[in-house]
C-alpha cells in the first residue's frame, strides 16, 4: 500500500521549530517509528513524504494522490487546518482515506481558533498531541482500517 504523508505550512523544519510545542524530533524519525509500531507489516507500506508552505501545492499533491490511486493520506495541514475551505473541498471530492494529524494537542492550546478544524469532517479520524508519533499512529490507524475493515 502507498500512503502519502503531507505536511503543510511551517512544518518544513520540524525538530527546530518551537521544540517546546512541536517536539525536538524531525520527520526523518518517522520510518523507524512506523517499523517499531507495525513490525512486519511495515514492509508492506510505502510511505511518501511531502511538505509545502503553499495551499495550492498541497491541493495539487492531494489531487496527485487521487490520480495515482494512493491508498491513504496522513495530513498535517498546519494552520490551514483551521482556515482552508479549499483544502476541505479537495478532501471532500478525492475521498482518499485521510487521517488528520497534529504534533501538538490543538484542543489544549490557548488560541481557540486551533480548536476548530475545517478538514476534520472529511477525514476518517484525527490524532493530536504526540509529536512525530502522531504520524506513526496515523499510519497504523490507516493500515488497520484498510486491512481489517
Ligand atoms: C499544528 C497545529 C496548528 O494549529 C499549527 O498552525 C501548526 C502545527 C500541529 O501539528 O500541532 O502549524 O498543525
Instruction: Output the pLDDT for position 5.
Output: 98
Question: Which CATH number covers residue 91?
Answer: 3.40.50.9100
Q: Kindly report the protein residue whose alpha carbon is nearest to atom 1 of ligand 1.
A: 78
Instruction: Output the pLDDT for position 85.
Output: 98
The torsion angles phi and psi of 139, rounded to 5 degrees, stand at -60, -45
Contacts of 67 (CB under 8 A, 6+ apart): none
Number of structural domains the chain divides into: 1
Query: Does 115 participate in catalysis according to the annotation?
Result: no
Instruction: Output the pLDDT for position 101.
Output: 98
First to last CA, the chain: 15
Neighbours of 147 (CB within 10 A): 10
pLDDT in tens, 63-73: 999 999 999 99
pLDDT in tens, 82-125: 999 999 999 999 999 999 999 999 999 999 999 999 999 999 99
Q: Which domain holds residue 56?
A: 2-147
Pocket-testing residue among 21, 114, 132, ligand 1, by greatest number of atoms within 8 A of Cβ = 114
Contacts of 97 (CB under 8 A, 6+ apart): 71, 72, 73, 124, 142, 145, 146
Amino acid at each position: 500500500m502507498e500512503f502519502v504523508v503531507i505536511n503543510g505550512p511551517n512544518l518544513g523544519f520540524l525538530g527546530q521549530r518551537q521544540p517546546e510545542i512541536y517536539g525536538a524530533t524531525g520527520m526523518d524519525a518517522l520510518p523507524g517509528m512506523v517499523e517499531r509500531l507495525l513490525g512486519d507489516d511495515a514492509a508492506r507500506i510505502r510511505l511518501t513524504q511531502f511538505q509545502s508552505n503553499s495551499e495550492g501545492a498541497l491541493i495539487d499533491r492531494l489531487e496527485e494522490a487521487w490520480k495515482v490511486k494512493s491508498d491513504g493520506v496522513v495530513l498535517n495541514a498546519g494552520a490551514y487546518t483551521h482556515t482552508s475551505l479549499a483544502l476541505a473541498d479537495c478532501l471532500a471530492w478525492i475521498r482518499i482515506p485521510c487521517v488528520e494529524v497534529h504534533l501538538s494537542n490543538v484542543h489544549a492550546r490557548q488560541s481557540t481558533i486551533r480548536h476548530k478544524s475545517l478538514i476534520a469532517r472529511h477525514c476518517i479520524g484525527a490524532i493530536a498531541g504526540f509529536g512525530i508519533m502522531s504520524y506513526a499512529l496515523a499510519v497504523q490507524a490507516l493500515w488497520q482500517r484498510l486491512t481489517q475493515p
